[in-house]
Structure 1
Amino acid sequence: MKLFWPLDKSFTEALEVLQQTPANRPFEELIIDFTQVLSKRFLRTRNQPEIVALGYWLRRANIQQMQTNFEQQYENLNIRARGIVFHIAPSNVDTIFVYSWMLSLLAGNRNILRISSKEQNGLNLLLQIIMEELAKPEFKGIAQQTIICTYGYEETITAQISAICHTRVIWGGDATVEAIRQVPLTPLANELTFPDRFSLAVLSSEAVMALDKKALETLASQFYNDVFWFNQMACSSPRLIIWTGKQQNEAKMRFWSRLEDVIQDKSYELFAATQVLKYTTTLQLAAKERVNQIKHDVYYSRVQFQQIEPNVREVHCGGGLFYEYDVESLVDASSMICDKDQTLAYFGIEHQQLVSFVEAISSRGLDRVVPIGQALNFDDTWDGQNFLTSFTRSVVIR
């Protein structure tokens, strides 16, 4: 095990201190002050847009809105923190553990964070900032309520933490969730799981064709952010593109050409291994699935499907691989939505069309419908679960 925080104690000593330190009340001023210090520092990391986005999410106005919504929802109730929350972070999105931690902290909990052991520039910078702020005297209370560590597949450590936590949060692939679920929790503990998900985008071909050059560039830039910030590996990054209307061919040509210009302007880094993986994945799809056409460009590959089956989601490799599917009306695509589908990012689709589409879905699929450019925006409700509700408990006093 590698212990990032605290700096001056062993893991066993840190656990003892954390267990002896009382939990906070939801939205205590000290916690809000801590979020604001982090927000300001994250916003200054201009070369890391995903960290800037985290800083923007932590800004005071957003925290205050969360607090207002929370207090209105639980007005006249005695709401307490659950106690100790154990967060198991994924390796594909280095900021996610901070979102999970901040929401638990705002709910008043003590926290144990197991982060990825992969070397990532963004993760290193996040840790540096967080540890510098935790070391300040004014945040001693939060520091004593926080453990940040990383370790491999040692089940004994996971079991040790799971035996004392009151909530366990698992971010990771299906295999990770399945493996950790084998480790028992105490009878009173609850668990939140965020396994592999798949996301989509829908664009109206008529709306794309109606855009002037500047508006088209804005759309392409927003789409780039949704897809390439995490190299299409974030669960909410669009991988399947649904085109509606009757001008699909013209709209595709216009959109993809502009996106290529945007990718070049962003100096996106191409990796040979990713290019090879995309190429082999498209060949696999062409051999086994109902595919009309495959197009390889420098920065992305596109696969036009006649029909989308649930299994093609498992084949997707990220890195700029796009499935495409054409329908006249969005509701015509409702039957292809499966349980695994999480986010639908849209452009040029009217609100009532989106409502009709969601109502027509017969599976458990889709938890978020957001404009293109907001696919990666985090919220206190994710995968249909409200964090602040799950991270607290209501004490009934008659």
Structure 2
Amino acid sequence: MTTVRRLLPEAADADVADLLRELTATRAEAPFRAEAMDFCADFAQRLRREARGLPEAQALAFWLRGAGIRRLAGHFAELGGDGVVLVPRGTALHIPPANVDTIFMYSWLLSTLVGNRNVVRLSDRAGEQALLIVDVLRDLFRAGNHPSVQASTAVVQYGHDRQITDALSAACDLRVVWGGDATITEIRRSPLPPHATELTFPDRFSLAVFRAGSYLALDDARRDRLAQRFYNDAYAFDQLGCSSPRLVVWVGDQATAEYAGADLFDRLAEVTRERDYAVATSTAIAKLAYTRRAAIDWPVGRARSYGSRLTVLPLDRYADVRGEFCGGGVFFQFRVGSLGDLASRIDRRDQTLVQFGFEAAELTGLVRELNGRGIDRVVPVGEALTFHHIWDGHDLLQSFTRRTTIDLTEAHLT
């Protein structure tokens, strides 16, 4: 017997074959049905109450507010139209990463809203916020107000067991894998049915670009607010989220860029103290080793350390600093003369560009010059981690559904 730990509605061991039979016997529902939308509202209300002091969970609750779900329903309706009916794919398997506690909920909730049945494999290294979310869901399901959502959901935990992943993959119509390149390669060893589709969200890199002159034109109060918003971008998930900026690029002349960079990071260091950002011992050791290797591997100038919470590594010339990363408040810094000079340094691994001080036409021009070579999101400072149903260039509402076309045009008969 192959078993997993099923976390909902109660924590108990479950036979995989029995779980899949129970789940696939459940009818896929119509997209954006009233019960699913009501469930989102109820869950958001409970999570706001239970997750005080947990910013990522509070952000999830805010995303689920009624106005946000209604906007999602509107976006979904626009995908259909005359002769096009959007229907669920069937059963979706979600494999989220261990380092971002809330991502499994965004993936699962969007899939639930469009009517799919869902299996979520939660890592056995899931953090505090993920486990709190499971507790809130368990209480909500116990109340018995959302039976079809409960029946269409299986949240499970198991180790690196290829046999279990094989069985879950063989039963799904859509597999969604959030994680590193190595994780995706391993999961892909488990075959999908011929009709099934797959969405993968691999290792990504994100950066921030500031116009130095525009930053220095701000008064002290606005610079402080910008530093606080940049803290939100970078320090959630210990700077290990795919959209957490790791490279700060300044646009301007050398002297202006250096002055602006020193000012921003001084203020950011103060924010880390005010927020009492805690650096785990293991992270502090990893940062020490990482910064020493960076000084050997890349053209790093004089590093600036603001204690254990913040380290700035200026690059004397551009270097590809993507790849292994320690997190915990380490920023590479680089200068370019113009926004266009950044284009040649972008590649397909680059996901989010956090920006300050640029006009829409300049940013659109950069994206058009890249022409798909990199950058899936351009957002203002403070919005790097805000989840959107369009992620990594995929419209998840569309990807989680199938399009059925109805053509009543009769062929001309002669």
Mapping 1:1-398, distance limit 5 Å: 1-7=4-10, 10-11=14-15, 12-44=17-49, 45-76=51-82, 77-246=84-253, 247-298=256-307, 299-310=309-320, 312-361=321-370, 364-398=373-407
Distance 1:387 1:315 in 2: 28
Q: Could you tell me how far 1:362 is from its partner in structure 2?
A: 6.1
8 A contact 2:101–2:126 mirrored in 1? no
8 A contact 1:26–1:80 mirrored in 2? yes
Give me the TM-score of the superposition, normalised by structure 1: 0.96
Q: Which runs of 5+ in 2 are unaligned?
A: 408-414
Q: Could you tell me how far 1:397 is from its partner in structure 2?
A: 2.8
Q: Could you tell me how far 1:361 is from its partner in structure 2?
A: 2.3
> Secondary structure of 1:313's partner?
coil
8 A contact 1:82–1:392 mirrored in 2? yes
Q: Could you tell me how far 1:379 is from its partner in structure 2?
A: 0.6
Give me the TM-score of the superposition, normalised by structure 2: 0.93
Distance 1:346 1:159 in 2: 42
Q: 1:69 to 1:119 in 2, by over 3 A?
A: closer
8 A contact 2:211–2:356 mirrored in 1? yes
Task: Calculate the aligned-residue CA RMSD, in Å.
Answer: 1.5
Q: Which runs of 5+ in 1 are unaligned?
A: none
Q: Could you tell me how far 1:14 is from its partner in structure 2?
A: 2.8
Distance 1:345 1:82 in 2: 34
- Give CA-to-partner distance per residue, 1:326-369, whole Å, 9 cap, x none: 01211111101111110000111221221122222266211000
Q: 1:119 to 1:385 in 2, by over 3 A?
A: closer
- Give CA-to-partner distance per residue, 1:24-78, whole Å, 9 cap, x none: 1110000000000111122222211100100111111111111112112212322
Distance 1:101 1:135 in 2: 19
8 A contact 1:43–1:53 mirrored in 2? no
Q: Could you tell me how far 1:292 is from its partner in structure 2?
A: 2.6
8 A contact 2:299–2:319 mirrored in 1? no
Q: Percent identity?
A: 38
Distance 1:93 1:396 in 2: 37
8 A contact 1:335–1:362 mirrored in 2? no
Name the amino acid aligned to 2:168: I
Which deviates more, 280-289 or 43-52?
A: 280-289
Distance 2:86 2:365 in 1: 37
Distance 2:133 2:369 in 1: 42
Distance 1:307 1:56 in 2: 41
8 A contact 1:241–1:323 mirrored in 2? yes
Distance 1:259 1:349 in 2: 21
Q: Could you tell me how far 1:293 is from its partner in structure 2?
A: 2.6
- Give CA-to-partner distance per residue, 1:246-268, whole Å, 9 cap, x none: 31121112111111111111011
8 A contact 1:6–1:14 mirrored in 2? no
Q: Could you tell me how far 1:9 is from its partner in structure 2?
A: 7.6
Q: Could you tell me how far 1:168 is from its partner in structure 2?
A: 0.1
Distance 2:330 2:372 in 1: 25
- Give CA-to-partner distance per residue, 1:138-163, whole Å, 9 cap, x none: 21111111100011110111110111
Q: Could you tell me how far 1:274 is from its partner in structure 2?
A: 2.0
> Secondary structure of 2:203's partner?
coil
Size of the aligned set, in residue pairs, is 397
Which deviates more, 52-61 or 35-44?
A: 35-44
